[in-house]
Chains A and B, each alone.
Chain A
Amino acid sequence: MAPRLGLGGGVSADPASGLFAAAPLLLDTYPNAHRAYSVRKLRTDYEGYAMKVREGSGMNYTNDIAFDDDGRVSLDSKIYNRSDSGTNGVTLGSYLTGYSNPDLMVTTWYDQSGEGSNALQPTTTKQPKLFNGGSLVTAGDPARAGLLFSGSAWSGQQLLVDEAGLSLGSITAFSVLKHSQTSSKAYPWILSQASPYFSHYVNSDADIYAYDADNTTITDPATTDQRMFSYRGLPGAQVMYTDGEASSATGTSVATTALADNAANGMGAWYGVMYFWAGTFQEFIVYDSDQTSNRSDIEANIDAEFEIT
């Protein structure tokens, strides 16, 4: 399901897109990402929405959420493609005025990479939240919108991501996320669940980057602060960077194996059945290429938006 423009009433999905022409966005400067999900607009010529949500009142109405004039998801974001036949183009804040303590579940986090591979969840109880009990989910300072995962060992939320086209040895990923807990095992993301492994998991107060069949693990002490992670996946040189700082351990795998196909690959759980993650996800970008020379500049771009460091 590709993001679409064709909106009712001839309204543009992003009326403010022209405002961004003068200020290059992350994927304008560092293009060719293979997957790109974010609560901010990442590419000037991306004309789709940020995400599709389902309201939880029982009617299960859905709508698409556009980026606001600052290129973010916020209460000022306008909504379109309303299945409740309401007025398109109202703000997210005003849309929810008539609901009591509304929840909004994310059914689709649109891929801004241009590959059209959206992150999806077809099961109601496994959809992360953008609104929780009447409040926009946020993380960080300044507060930016995020997707709330409320997992525990055996149940929780997950967004499915297709790993097709990604291989060890030529992969670089970036994430912005905030754990709700760090002591129990949970997977913020996993794009290859069987050998070779490619995932980020948290356990025993450590962030762990798992890579390849020999269980190469690169750990950093975990916190419940909002953090920016970069994952380098080059032959003989796997590194996880946390807020720009390289992990003390590095991986040495020389594998160039394609990631293992699994319908449960994605954000938030292991095999879709356990180790569900609890936290707030704000950005996940994966390149099918080496971005070592751009890493610090990409991190600077991320940090300029989320002000993490």
Chain B
Amino acid sequence: MPYLIFNSPEEAIARTDQAGKDRSLPYHRGEDDPTRYIWGVVPEQGSNPRGALMIDGEQDLLTPTETSALVNELPADWVYPPNPFE
């Protein structure tokens, strides 16, 4: 899964929202529908969380700089939410 890493979840949300505008998704057309984002957001846990986008399609919406910045895994020091059943 390619990921695009951001300094905060808010930045990641803004980027996928912009992609939704670029694709003119229903929410951005003013329809009564929640569909507004192209890619899912992975928010990091912790006090200074980063954000990531799961780029599982529509890579043509990325800039060349973003495409070159894609990574196949989240950073090794990524803080995940606690799972009590592991």
Footprint of B on A, CB under 8 Å? 1, 52, 54, 60, 62, 81, 83, 107-108, 120-127, 154-155, 185, 193-195, 197, 201, 203, 208, 210, 215, 217, 270-275
Q: How far is the CA of A81 from the CA of B32 in the complex (A)?
A: 9
A41 to chain B, nearest CB (A): 21
- B36 to chain A minimum Cβ distance, whole angstroms, is 5
Count of A-B contacts with CB under 8 A? 85
Would you call B37 and A1 a contact (CB within 8 A)?
Answer: no
Residue interface bits B19-35, CB-to-A below 8 A is 1, else 0 = 01001111101011111
Cβ of A195: which chain B residues have Cβ within 8 Å of it? 84
Cβ-neighbour of A124 out of B37, B41, B43 (below 8 A): B37
With both chains docked as a complex, state the minimum distance between the C-beta of A175 and any C-beta of chain B, in angstroms.
19
Q: Which residues on B sit within 8 Å (CB–CB) of A210?
A: 84-85
CB distance from A124 to the nearest CB of B (A): 6
- Nearest B residue to A214 by beta-carbon distance? B84
> Contact at B37–A215, with CB atoms within 8 Å?
no
Q: Are A122 and B36 in contact (CB under 8 A)?
A: yes
Residues of B within 8 Å of A272, CB to CB, are 40
- Are the C-beta atoms of A123 and B38 separated by less than 8 Å? yes
A62 pairs with B85, CB closer than 8 A: no
Which chain A residues lie closer than 8 Å to B26 at the CB level? 54, 60, 62, 83, 107
Taken together as a complex, chains A and B put the C-alpha atoms of A210 and B1 apart, in Å, by 29
A-chain residues with CB within 8 Å of residue B31 when the two chains form the complex: 62, 83
A121 lies within 8 A of B32 (CB): no
CA distance A217 to B85 in the complex (A): 9
Interface string of B28-62 (1 = CB under 8 A from A): 01011111111111110000000000101100000
Q: A54-B33, A62-B35, A81-B32 are in contact. Are A194 and B85 (CB under 8 A)?
A: no
